[in-house]
Chain A
Amino acid sequence: MELQALAVSLLSPMVLAFALGIIATVLKSDLKFPEELYTALTIYLLVAIGLKGGYKLSITPFSQFVYPALAALVLGLAIPIWAYQILLRVGKFDIANSAAIAAHYGSVSAVTFGEALAFHDNLKAALLEQNPQMTEEALKLAGGIYEGFMPGLLTIMEFPAIIVAILTARLASARLATVGDVAEANGDASLGKVMQELIAGKSNLLMIGFSIIGIICGKRGWEQVAPFFDTPFRGVLALFLLEAGLVTGRRLGDLKKVGGFLIAFGILMPVLHAILGIYLGKLAGLSLGGATILGVLAASASYIAAPAACRVALPQASPTYYLTASLAITFPFNIIVGLPLYHYFAKILYGA
């Protein structure tokens, strides 16, 4: 059964497209995504995730959503705090780099999330293939079913971590600054400006906006757009992962530059965060599949919203560290090894 989960994850077109992207860079292929396509794919994925999550939320009783939402918020606020301390004290990174990397690990990756949904849907299909008589209840116990409101948790976890990390860096630098350094602070974008850019930033705006649209429109509304936003979702995800593979391939050379500590951090922290996420998910009353996905969210590192915010708010931090860690280490680890591993952890925790 564990092997089956591994095969489900490894042999999906999405993961294979990611691998092809890496191979293409290694072979020095001329394959390159037009920039507008990258932007368009991102917008499509964010809208699709937000809309479906909103619709599912509209048919979920509030009492069912409130504890998982709280668990997601706690994870989003707490992860950057200890990630920052570990990076600063153990990793010996400076304040800006520690905060930027912490922001990435506390925030979440919509694409890893999309891949986690696909993993669970495929698992359900594989289970049903083996035993077409399987009941809804049995599927739930085996992790083939998850709560539909999961995108709501993704939205909740998107930006608290980024704000916590930026605030931590501001406070730490303020403590270090002497009178002579005050002039230097002039170059910083003000915190209000950073908040404004985060809230109005495309990933946040689209996800929150379309979640609300999904809630308002409900089932009838969702059915009108589902042929465009539901069925092609995984195809678009495969295209996006091909592009992610290309970028990751280019970043692989930077692995030597970032050093062993960050590589270990990029693998161990997600595993710890996943266990914590699954545990909190269980406490909050999520199903096995739902808790696994909350674990994946806790484990994932942002590479769309967080880099954009860090470029503005923490310009001294080096993208070589934060992008390489989140994109070239944690992202591939999560979608290839992480998903089946976290599924396995969840089964142990649920005693299934």
Chain B
Amino acid sequence: MKTVSLKLLTIIADEALQKRLIEDVKKLGAKGYTIEKAYGEGEHGGRISAWEGENIRLELLVSPEVADKILEKLACDYFNKYSIIAYLCDAQVLRGEKFL
């Protein structure tokens, strides 16, 4: 099968940031996204119930350039304030041109 090389950008953040994050990644060129609820524990303590606040896992398939722009935005506006995780993986994507 013919695939396209893209980046899978994963952002784990407080659910309260969902709207802002989506606005920002769309502005920076992401064509779409997938969101799941996420639970876990880290430096900022546990995020284990709806009451105490939950995380979301936001996944985007984007070109390396867009991925870079988004990471820069996160570093500039989010990292100093919010507990947030972001990482990139390489992805071979079917019908990848949809995401460019």
Which residues 25-83 of B sit at the A interface, judged by CB distance below 8 A?
A: 44-46, 48-53, 76-78, 80-83
**Which A residue sits closest to B51, measured CB to CB?**
A247
Residue A148 CB within 8 A of the other chain: no
Set of chain B residues within 8 Å of A188, measured between Cβ atoms: 81
Q: A308-B16, A311-B16, A319-B45 are in contact. Are A38 and B51 (CB under 8 A)?
A: yes
Pairwise interchain contact B80-A184, C-beta atoms closer than 8 A: yes
Pairwise interchain contact A311-B53, C-beta atoms closer than 8 A: yes
Pairwise interchain contact B44-A318, C-beta atoms closer than 8 A: yes
Q: A308-B16, A311-B14, A319-B45 are in contact. Are A187 and B53 (CB under 8 A)?
A: no
Residue B95 CB within 8 A of the other chain: no
Residue B2 CB within 8 A of the other chain: no
Interface contacts beyond A39-B50, A308-B53: sample of 8 additional A-B pairs, CB < 8 Å, sorted by A? A184-B80, A250-B48, A308-B16, A311-B16, A312-B16, A315-B14, A319-B52, A323-B52
Residue A50 CB within 8 A of the other chain: no
Q: List 9 A-B contacts (CB under 8 A).
A: A38-B50, A38-B51, A187-B77, A187-B80, A189-B20, A243-B51, A315-B81, A315-B83, A319-B45
Pairwise interchain contact A320-B45, C-beta atoms closer than 8 A: yes
**Which A residue sits closest to B14, measured CB to CB?**
A311
Question: Residue-by-residue, is A304-332 near B (CB-CB < 8 Å gives 1, otherwise 0)?
Answer: 10011001100110111001000000000
Q: A307-B53, A319-B53 are in contact. Are A186 and B16 (CB under 8 A)?
A: no
Set of chain B residues within 8 Å of A189, measured between Cβ atoms: 20
Pairwise interchain contact B78-A187, C-beta atoms closer than 8 A: yes
Set of chain A residues within 8 Å of B45, measured between Cβ atoms: 318-320
Pick the most buried of A183, A250, A319: most chain B CB atoms within 10 A of its CB: A319
Whole-angstrom distance from the CB of A245 to the nearest CB of chain B? 12
Whole-angstrom distance from the CB of A320 to the nearest CB of chain B? 5
Residue A35 CB within 8 A of the other chain: yes
Pairwise interchain contact B81-A187, C-beta atoms closer than 8 A: yes
- State in angstroms the CA–CA spacing of A167 and B97 once bound together: 47
Set of chain A residues within 8 Å of B44, measured between Cβ atoms: 318-319
Pairwise interchain contact A247-B81, C-beta atoms closer than 8 A: no
Set of chain B residues within 8 Å of A243, measured between Cβ atoms: 51
Among A183, A247, A304, A316, which residue has its beta carbon within 8 angstroms of that of B49?
A247
**Which A residue sits closest to B76, measured CB to CB?**
A186
Question: Residue-by-residue, is A166-191 near B (CB-CB < 8 Å gives 1, otherwise 0)?
Answer: 00000000000000000110111100
Which residues 45-84 of A sit at the B interface, judged by CB distance below 8 A?
A: none
Pairwise interchain contact B53-A186, C-beta atoms closer than 8 A: no
- State in angstroms the CA–CA spacing of A134 and B72 once bound together: 72
Whole-angstrom distance from the CB of A220 to the nearest CB of chain B? 36
Set of chain A residues within 8 Å of B81, measured between Cβ atoms: 187-188, 315-316
Pick the most buried of A187, A312, A318: most chain B CB atoms within 10 A of its CB: A187
- State in angstroms the CA–CA spacing of A304 and B82 once bound together: 20
Pick the most buried of B44, B50, B83: most chain A CB atoms within 10 A of its CB: B50
